[in-house]
């Protein structure tokens, strides 16, 4: 194999290089533990990481604008906790309602954050840092620092994460919801005006404003969508783990950001795709699920995860450099 | 600043008393006084020399991170790996001590670990300038914490209390003044001088205001970033020493969330994360505001959850209020 071919293929598209990395990773794990590539393990993995994968979508929108949201873990906890508390007190028993309420709570949380960022002109990292504390505090206060345990949650709700009622027995509910979110986002980012506006604002806010895009409204919308997805994720989280604690999803924001970054979303905005995010969050899921499978102690997990993130972003930069150089060459000729 | 022509140009504009009164630092001083009045009302024993120093001891070991964090934010960068660096340095120190290394050498190992951690951050950022510091330090945050977990697992490495002088670093005091306070004041003064009275400090502001311009004016931007991140690592190690001296043992999960606390303090001090803005004294006052506020609320048994809400709200309000120009908002309907 000559080297030129190799580099060209690597730089052809970022998604392609990520697929290559994923295949190598899977092959390695499969080699160490033949039980890895089975339907049961994969469905289990996707089920457990559906929350992270859904949140990565919202985070992609935020990052595309050049912002960041580190309050998502707290928003998830707050909305999930609200629902769980209502369920404990017997006010909500309908599963559908139990899915809608947290989405609304999350939407409101996201709107508040978005309004502060868009109209209050606070930098996203500071605003969401503040709201990370605020929402987490409210979660503890609302629950009076108590848990909502498994027996206080309706059986139907607990079954929701395990059954596959939405697709009439074909696919697990969580995975279905996750896939639907991805398809919706793919269509929205690619084929609708709103999606293109998000990219426009992210790549050049001044140019976008001059061309008549209402930047603040787009910002508000993106953070609101992020919040709503957090709410949805909160409902799924409670359903999956059949309990609700004040400190749930603490630190999840870092996993989600890492998933986006591995998937090639640029933190300076304007660059990133839904497929990339899907592959990135899949990588995070595989790392999280497969390391225990091949007999690596849990204490090694963080170290390995960090190294993989670092290698992924550095590789991203290197491929970008090669790509830019190739583009320049093309122009010279 | 007298040039050849004999004219002199002042570096800063002379300020009127009105401008001095309305600087962010003076507002912070007022908040600080209010917090102290509140604390004094809560506990009559608070306003005494030992009481006050006791209060400072409750938060000062974290404050060492705030000093270099101010530099980093002035440059427009961010470092969220500091908590993990603290944990890793403390773990290495305790482990080497338990392996039979004398305490003095263990402290050196701790300082070295922190410095190396910071240097790795700085090196990666200087090498790959396209990478945002947020994501690099996110990765190293996970890695450093991961190494600490690999070394210790879920065990604790203790026995540090056996060395009396080591515990004394935190618990001991010179008269009424704790040693830690003295060290902090010295370092804070040095850092203040570095930021506001040296060329290096001016470079930091230049980089924060416009990195490209700074580069073209001949400032070794990447080298300075590397130096500042390395310095941050060293200060993390100092925090680790005092933290270990306080607790007498270390685990891999200490100092979780310190990065966010440090960033909150710096931001409350008026230094923007966008870079190039704010003054160092503000950050110092902010340390004491948040610290005393926590201490005081702790005295009247306000739960830590309410404290989360209060401190988060304070942070958002503090950053938002000065930026909101109400007159313009009302006049200019397009923003609403």
The string of DSSP letters for B135-164 reads HHHHHHHHHHHHHHHHHHTT--B--GGGSH
DSSP letter at A153 equals S
| Chain segment B217-244, per-residue pLDDT in tens | 999 999 999 999 999 999 999 999 999 9
The residue range of the domain holding B82 is 23-321
Q: Which of A123, A130, A254 sits opposite B273 (nearest CB)?
A: A123
| Chain segment B132-174, per-residue pLDDT in tens | 898 899 899 999 999 999 999 888 888 888 888 888 888 888 8
Q: What is the pLDDT of residue A3?
A: 47
Q: Which of B150, B260, B313 sits opposite A299 (nearest CB)?
A: B150
Q: Cα–Cα distance between B269 and B70 in angstroms, integer? A: 9
Per-residue pLDDT band at B125 (split at 50, 70, 90): very high
Q: Which of A121, A138, A299 sits opposite B149 (nearest CB)?
A: A299
Whether residue B250 lies inside any domain: the answer is: yes
Q: Cα–Cα distance between A133 and A114 in angstroms, integer? A: 16
**ipTM confidence score:** 0.82
Minimal-distance CA residue of chain B relative to A250: B257
Whether residue B14 lies inside any domain: the answer is: no
The string of DSSP letters for B268-283 reads HTT--TTSS---HHHH
The region of weakest confidence among B3-12, B71-80, B263-272, B275-284 is B3-12
Whether residue B293 lies inside any domain: the answer is: yes
Residue A218 CA, chain-centre distance (Å), reads 19
Whether residue B326 lies inside any domain: the answer is: no
pLDDT at B291 over 70: yes
Give residue for tokens 């409204």.
Answer: A217
Whether residue B8 lies inside any domain: the answer is: no
Average pLDDT of adjacent 10-residue blocks, chain A of 333 residues: 48 73 87 85 91 95 92 95 91 87 96 93 88 92 87 86 81 92 94 93 91 93 96 94 88 88 84 91 88 81 86 81 80 62
Mean pLDDT confidence for B39-64: 86
Among A127, A141, A250, A299, which would you mutate to test the B interface (most chain B Cβ atoms within 10 Å of its Cβ)?
A: A299
Whether residue B260 lies inside any domain: the answer is: yes
The string of DSSP letters for A68-105 reads ----HHHHHHHHHHHHHHHHHTTS---HHHHHHHHHHH
Minimal-distance CA residue of chain B relative to A134: B309
pLDDT at B63 over 50: yes
DSSP letter at A195 equals H
Mean pLDDT confidence for B210-217: 93
Whether residue B45 lies inside any domain: the answer is: yes
What lies within 8 Å, CB to CB, of B36 at 6+ separation is B47, B292
**Domains of chain A and any CATH numbers:** 15-327 (1.10.3470)
- The structure's pTM equals 0.86
Whether residue B43 lies inside any domain: the answer is: yes
Q: What CATH number is associated with residue B146?
A: 1.10.3470
pLDDT at B71 over 60: yes
What lies within 8 Å, CB to CB, of B170 at 6+ separation is B57, B61, B178, B179, B180, B242, B245, B246
Mean pLDDT of all residues belonging to chain B: 86
Q: What is the pLDDT of residue B319?
A: 79
Phi, psi of B55, rounded to the nearest 5 degrees: -65, -45
Q: What is the pLDDT of residue B1?
A: 43
Measured CA distances, A162 to A18, A171, A174, A290 (Å): 30, 10, 8, 21
């Amino acid at each position: 194999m000559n080297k030129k071919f190799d580099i060209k293929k690597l730089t052809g598209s970022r998604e392609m290089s990520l697929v290559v990395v994923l295949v190598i990773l899977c092959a390695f794990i499969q080699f160490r533990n033949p039980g890895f590539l089975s339907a049961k393990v994969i469905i289990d993995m996707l089920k457990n990481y559906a929350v992270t994968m859904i949140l990565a979508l919202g985070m992609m929108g935020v990052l595309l604008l050049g912002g960041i949201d580190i309050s998502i873990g707290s928003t998830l906890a707050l909305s999930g906790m609200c629902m769980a508390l209502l369920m404990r007190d017997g006010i909500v028993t309908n599963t559908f309602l139990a899915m809608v309420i947290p989405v609304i709570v999350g939407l409101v949380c996201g709107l508040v954050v978005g309004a502060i960022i868009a109209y209050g002109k606070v930098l996203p990292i500071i605003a969401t840092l503040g709201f990370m504390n605020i929402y987490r505090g409210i979660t503890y206060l609302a629950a009076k620092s108590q848990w909502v345990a498994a027996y206080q949650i309706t059986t139907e709700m607990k079954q929701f994460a395990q059954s596959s009622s939405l697709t009439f027995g074909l696919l697990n509910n969580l995975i279905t919801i996750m896939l639907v979110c991805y398809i919706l986002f793919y269509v929205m980012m690619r084929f609708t005006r709103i999606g293109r506006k998000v990219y426009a604002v992210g790549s050049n806010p001044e140019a976008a404003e001059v061309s008549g895009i209402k930047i603040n409204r787009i910002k508000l919308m993106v953070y609101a969508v992020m919040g709503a997805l957090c709410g949805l994720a909160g409902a799924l989280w409670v359903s999956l783990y059949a309990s609700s604690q004040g400190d749930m999803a603490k630190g999840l924001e870092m996993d989600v950001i890492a998933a986006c970054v591995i998937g090639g979303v640029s933190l300076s905005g304007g660059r990133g795709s839904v497929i990339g995010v899907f592959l990135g969050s899949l990588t995070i899921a595989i790392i999280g699920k497969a390391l225990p499978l091949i007999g690596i102690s849990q204490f090694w997990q963080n170290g390995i995860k960090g190294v993989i993130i670092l290698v992924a972003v550095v590789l991203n930069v290197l491929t970008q450099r090669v790509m830019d150089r190739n583009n320049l060459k093309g122009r010279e000729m | 600043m007298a040039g050849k022509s004999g004219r002199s140009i002042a570096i800063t504009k002379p300020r009127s008393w009105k401008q001095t009164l309305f600087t962010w630092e003076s507002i912070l001083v007022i908040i600080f006084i209010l917090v102290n009045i509140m604390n004094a009302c809560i506990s009559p024993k608070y306003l005494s020399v030992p009481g006050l120093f006791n209060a400072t001891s409750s938060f000062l070991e974290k404050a060492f991170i705030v000093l270099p964090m101010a530099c980093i934010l002035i440059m427009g960068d961010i470092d969220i790996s500091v908590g993990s660096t603290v944990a890793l340095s403390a773990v290495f120190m305790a482990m080497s001590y338990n392996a039979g290394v004398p305490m003095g050498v263990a402290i050196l190992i701790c300082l070295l670990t922190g410095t190396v951690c910071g240097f790795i951050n700085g090196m990666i950022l200087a090498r790959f300038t396209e990478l945002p510091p947020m994501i690099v330090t996110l990765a190293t945050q996970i890695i450093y914490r991961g190494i600490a977990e690999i070394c210790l697992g879920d065990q604790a490495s203790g026995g540090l209390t056996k060395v009396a002088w080591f515990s004394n670093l935190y618990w001991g005091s010179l008269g009424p003044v704790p040693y830690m306070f003295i060290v902090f004041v010295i370092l804070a003064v040095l850092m203040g001088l570095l930021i506001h009275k040296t060329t290096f400090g001016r470079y930091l502001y230049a980089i924060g205001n416009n990195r490209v311009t700074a580069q073209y004016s001949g400032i070794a931007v990447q080298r300075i970033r590397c130096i500042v991140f390395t310095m941050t690592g060293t200060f993390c190690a100092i925090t680790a020493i005092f933290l270990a001296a306080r607790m007498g043992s270390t685990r891999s999960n200490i100092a979780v969330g310190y990065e966010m606390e440090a960033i909150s303090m710096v931001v409350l001090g008026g230094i923007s994360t966008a870079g190039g803005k704010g003054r160092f004294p503000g950050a110092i006052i902010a340390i004491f505001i948040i610290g005393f506020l926590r201490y005081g609320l702790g005295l009247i048994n306000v739960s830590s959850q309410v404290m989360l809400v209060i401190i988060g709200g304070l942070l958002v309000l503090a950053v938002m209020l000065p930026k909101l120009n109400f007159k313009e908002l009302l006049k200019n309907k397009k923003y609403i």
